[in-house]
Amino acid sequence: MLNIGDKAPGFTLPDENGKIVSISDYAGKWLVVYFYPKDDTPGCTKEACDFTDNRNEFAGLNAEIVGISRDDADAHQKFIAKYELNVTLLSDPNHAVHEAYGAWGTKVNYGKEIVGVIRSTFIISPDGEIAALWKKVSVRVKRKSGEVKHADKVKEKLAELQA
């Protein structure tokens, strides 16, 4: 299990265009990596759209956003086109990177225990360390004060880390 201060596990995966992307491509920048179950499903769509809607603010914090799922490049391209997403989506079909980040394992889904993607988000510092992490993410949480979006919490934490 990863903790704050640990070196982020390396990865080299294809993006939505088949281009090979490595964690080392982001050296010197802040990187938000989020693991999600499946393209074009309700929660995953909200999460991807929320990160896209905040893309400029993340860029202003010198941060890139990368989503990782088991979907292939074709599914990613359709997902991006359908919702006009502006985040990089990587394919991890064998879930090796998911496992390295602890984003794969046993979870309860509709009352049944299954093995699959554990929705998780990591902020990786410019020197490659885990600066913040969220496990078992709820994309949106309803509160009396209104709906809280996970992407907003990530953005706020990133700004706090840079203060």
d(CA 47, CA 4): 23
User: What's the CA gap between 156 and 162, in Å, rounded?
Assistant: 10
Three-state DSSP class for 68?
A: strand
pLDDT in the model for residue 112:
87
pLDDT at 73: 96
Per-residue pLDDT at 16: 96
Report d(CA 161, CA 74) in Å as an integer.
35
* pLDDT, one tens digit for every residue, the chain (163 residues): 899 999 999 999 999 999 999 999 999 999 999 999 999 999 999 999 999 999 999 999 999 999 999 999 999 999 999 999 999 999 999 999 999 999 999 887 788 898 999 999 999 999 999 999 999 888 877 777 777 899 999 999 999 999 8
Nearest to 136 by CA among 163, 103, 111, 91: 103
Residue among 65, 35, 29 nearest 161 (CA): 29
**Helix, strand, coil percentages in the chain from 3-state DSSP, rounded to 5:** 30, 35, 35
pLDDT recorded at residue 14: 98
Annotation marks residue 44 as catalytic: yes
Active-site annotation holder among 44, 66, 117, 151: 44
Per domain, the residue ranges of the chain are: 27-162
Provide CATH code, domain 27-162.
3.40.30.10
d(CA 152, CA 163): 17
Quick check: 150 and 140 in contact, CB under 8 A?
Answer: yes
What pLDDT sits at residue 152? 93
CB 158 within 8 A of CB 122: no
Question: Which segments within 36-126 are labelled E, that is strand?
Answer: 63-69, 88-91, 104-109, 112-117, 120-124
DSSP 100: H
